[in-house]
């Protein structure tokens, strides 16, 4: 009994963790690229990256279903390795990551665009490679935005429902994440189980907000009046 | 030795400059938007000119004909940005060490503390840039730029962000920087006094071109055209024509002064009688006197503006010519005779301080 109604928590945690890791790297790479890209296709690419945010989640879910389904291009690709994505645990990760991506991308891009090019130029004249500049100058200076982006992405994947339901379905113990479990618990009249999951979500959400506030207090160079000599 | 020649077109602006410096300090002087900063960015490789050639000592940094364009990382060019661009998330020590991270740890430590000491900021090593005054930030930026021992140091408006007291002290320190930084220094400024004090050569920029590049005393003594004269503070410019050339002295008829003016020069090459020229003289070189004579012209004081140490006097020359021409004279207050408005006297233009500008 205990196991079964806490199962959605473990599924959600694994899903959210994996989805956040994926969106973190993909979102940062896309954001960094677009922040300094000024080609003709800029607004088009930008639009594609933000699309999951403006479309209804079920529509995105349907799109993913077509993409990863038996006859979809990616579904066909995975079937070569005897793997089916649809209605499996990885499907929860994919839908959560896709839905969280625009938030990660937009917030991080805003942060990178705020970084004065002269910081990067200074590093260039000091002989640093572009890779080193990104990790030691651009990313640390844009860190507040990147952290905010990660927290938004984390929260968005934790709350993901529509696309997940379309692509991963509701398989208890396998693809039923917390939001999906809450919905089906209430449908089935298990109000008490739903409430426990609701409490858990509240705790996780407040803990991440608290973590963010604590981190902000601790950053030495974001506090101005720290003169101590 | 740094040789530079650059061409770059932007909408509404063309940069086309060429100059060279040899182990000296060059001031790039000009109004804003004249391409000074862009020149530095091209030398550092931060922007790419349409055409150009840059050679630093024996290394070709850029040769658009030979398709050479070194990355800024490999050019060994130190750059101090106008806003200093200190990394806000790193301490002073880490900022200075950024460009020498390939050295062994012990060596970095020694070098950083040496630089801190030379820049008189040893006590600030653990601070973050935002805890520093702008003068201190500039020292850190200089230390960071010279740590990797670049072969040329480029400073973009190094003193524009400082208040005047700090500025004067740091100007002196830039001069002492030469004691331990042996390389070319190029700095951009729009302040002539600053350029003259710190540099040995001055390149005068005007809308993307160098209008004169020479030793500073020559830029001041003989501006090559009216633009340079105007940009370098020669406030009195008058048209005239040469009446006589004898050895190194030239007589110029200046209608606006109502007479002829004697000028002594280092060389009179390129000048001929009846040639039209412009004569120019700085306000601080003009004297006033009560006696007529050579190079003294009768005039009336129209307006006196009192500064802290000088009186700025505007005289009109008593000639028939209209509109009246004004002569601007700066008199040191300490030695200035009493000049009330409406006072009639003579302005004396010393022959050795008048510049003859060929047109």
We report the CATH number of the domain holding residue A202 as: 1.10.3720.10
Give the closest residue to B38 by CA, choosing from B4, B82, B8: B8
Is B103 in CB contact (< 8 Å) with chain A?
no
HSE, side-chain direction, 13 A CA sphere, residue B299: 32
CATH architecture of the domain with residue range B235-358: Beta Barrel (2.40)
Reported as a pLDDT band with limits 50, 70 and 90, residue A177 is: very high
Is A87 in CB contact (< 8 Å) with chain B?
no
Indicate if the pLDDT at residue A221 is higher than 60.
no
Cβ neighbours of B82 (radius 10 Å): 17
The sheet with strand B249-254 has its strands ordered as B259-264, B249-254, B236-246, B276-281, B355-358
Q: Would you state the pLDDT for residue A115?
A: 92
User: For B358, phi and psi rounded to 5 degrees?
Assistant: -75, 140
- Per the CB < 8 A criterion, the answer to whether B96 and B147 are in contact is yes
**What ipTM was assigned to the predicted interfaces of this complex?**
0.84
- CATH 3.40.50.300 in chain B is located at 2-229
* Residue A227 with chain B: CB contacts under 8 Å: 131
Under-50 pLDDT residues of chain B: none
Q: Which parts of chain B fold into alpha helices (H)?
A: 36-44, 92-97, 105-118, 134-146, 164-177, 192-198, 216-221, 226-231
Distance CA A171, CA A181 (A): 9
User: For B4, phi and psi rounded to 5 degrees?
Assistant: -135, 130
Is A139 in CB contact (< 8 Å) with chain B?
no
Indicate if the pLDDT at residue A7 is higher than 70.
yes
Q: What is the H or E stretch that residue B18 is in? A: strand B13-21
**Residue with structure tokens 């200089």?**
B142
- CATH 2.40.50.100 in chain B is located at 235-358
Q: What percent of chain A has pLDDT over 70?
A: 93
Indicate if the pLDDT at residue A33 is higher than 80.
yes
Q: Would you state the pLDDT for residue A228?
A: 36
Total structural domains within chain A: 1
Is A82 in CB contact (< 8 Å) with chain B?
no
Reported as a pLDDT band with limits 50, 70 and 90, residue A3 is: low
User: Residue A184: inside a domain, yes or no?
Assistant: yes
**Is A122–B85 a contact, with Cβ atoms under 8 angstroms apart?**
yes
Is A174 in CB contact (< 8 Å) with chain B?
no
User: Shortest Cα distance from B115 to chain A (angstroms)?
Assistant: 16
Dump pLDDT digits (tens) for A114-157. 999 999 999 999 999 999 999 999 999 998 889 889 988 999 99
Distance CA B33, CA B76 (A): 27
Distance CA A50, CA A108 (A): 13
Q: Would you state the pLDDT for residue A210?
A: 84
Distance CA A78, CA A87 (A): 14
- Could you tell me which residues come within 8 angstroms of residue B57 by beta carbon, excluding any fewer than 6 positions away? B1, B2, B151
Q: Would you state the pLDDT for residue A94?
A: 95
Reported as a pLDDT band with limits 50, 70 and 90, residue A97 is: very high
Task: Tell me which CATH code domain B2-229 carries.
Answer: 3.40.50.300
Q: Would you state the pLDDT for residue B62?
A: 93
Reported as a pLDDT band with limits 50, 70 and 90, residue A219 is: low
- Host domain of residue A124: 2-218
User: Shortest Cα distance from A129 to chain B (angstroms)?
Assistant: 7
CA distances from B206 to A79, B49, B114 (A): 68, 18, 40
């Amino acid at each position: 009994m205990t196991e079964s109604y806490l199962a959605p928590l473990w599924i959600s945690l694994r899903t959210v963790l994996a989805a956040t890791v994926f969106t973190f790297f993909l979102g940062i790479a896309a954001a960094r690229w677009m922040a300094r890209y000024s080609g003709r296709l800029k607004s088009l690419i930008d639009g594609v990256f933000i699309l999951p945010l403006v479309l209804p989640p079920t529509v995105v879910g349907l799109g993913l279903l077509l993409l990863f389904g038996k006859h979809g291009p990616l579904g066909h690709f995975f079937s070569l390795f005897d793997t089916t994505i649809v209605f499996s645990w990885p499907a929860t990760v994919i839908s959560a990551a896709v839905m969280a991506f625009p938030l990660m991308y937009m917030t991080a891009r805003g942060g990178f665009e705020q970084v004065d090019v002269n910081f990067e130029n200074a590093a260039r004249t000091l002989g640093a490679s572009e890779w080193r500049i990104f990790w030691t100058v651009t990313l640390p200076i844009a860190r507040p935005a990147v952290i905010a982006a990660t927290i938004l992405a984390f929260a968005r994947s934790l709350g993901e429902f529509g696309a997940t339901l379309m692509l991963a379905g509701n398989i208890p113990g396998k693809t039923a994440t917390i939001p999906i479990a809450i919905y089906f618990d209430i449908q089935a009249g298990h109000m008490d189980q739903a409430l426990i999951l609701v409490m858990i979500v509240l705790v996780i959400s407040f803990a991440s907000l608290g973590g963010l506030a604590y981190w902000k207090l601790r950053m030495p160079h974001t506090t101005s009046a720290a003169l101590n000599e | 030795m740094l040789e530079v020649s650059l061409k770059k077109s932007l909408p509404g602006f063309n940069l086309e400059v060429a100059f060279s410096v040899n182990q000296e300090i060059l001031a790039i002087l000009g109004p804003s938007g004249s391409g000074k900063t862009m020149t530095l960015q091209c030398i550092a490789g931060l922007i790419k000119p349409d055409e150009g050639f840059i050679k630093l000592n024996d290394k070709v940094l850029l040769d658009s004909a030979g398709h050479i364009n070194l990355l800024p990382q490999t050019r060994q060019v130190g750059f101090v940005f106008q806003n200093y661009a200190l990394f806000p998330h790193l301490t002073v020590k880490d900022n200075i060490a950024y460009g020498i991270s390939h050295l062994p740890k012990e060596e970095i430590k020694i070098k950083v503390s040496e630089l801190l000491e030379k820049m008189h900021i040893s006590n600030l090593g653990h601070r973050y840039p935002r805890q520093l005054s702008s003068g201190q930030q500039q020292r850190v930026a200089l230390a960071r730029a010279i740590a990797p021992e670049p072969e040329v140091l480029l400073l973009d408006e190094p003193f524009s962000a400082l208040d005047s007291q700090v500025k004067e002290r740091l100007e002196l320190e830039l001069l002492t920087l030469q004691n331990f930084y042996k390389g070319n220094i190029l700095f951009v400024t729009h302040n002539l006094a600053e350029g003259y004090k710190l540099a040995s050569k001055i390149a005068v920029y005007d809308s993307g071109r160098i209008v004169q590049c020479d030793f500073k005393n020559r830029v001041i003594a003989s501006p090559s055209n009216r633009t340079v004269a105007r940009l370098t503070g020669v406030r009195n410019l008058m048209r005239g024509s040469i009446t006589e050339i004898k050895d190194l002295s030239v007589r110029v008829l200046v209608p606006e002064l109502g007479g002829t003016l004697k000028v002594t020069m280092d060389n009179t090459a390129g000048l001929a009688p009846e040639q039209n020229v412009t004569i120019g003289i700085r306000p601080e070189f003009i004297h006033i006197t009560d006696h007529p004579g050579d190079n003294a012209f009768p005039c009336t004081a129209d307006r006196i503006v009192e500064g802290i140490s000088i009186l700025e006097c505007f005289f009109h020359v008593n000639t028939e010519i209209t509109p009246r021409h004004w002569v601007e004279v700066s008199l040191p207050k300490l030695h200035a005779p009493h000049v009330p408005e409406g006072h009639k006297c003579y302005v004396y233009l010393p022959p050795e301080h008048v510049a003859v500008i060929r047109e």
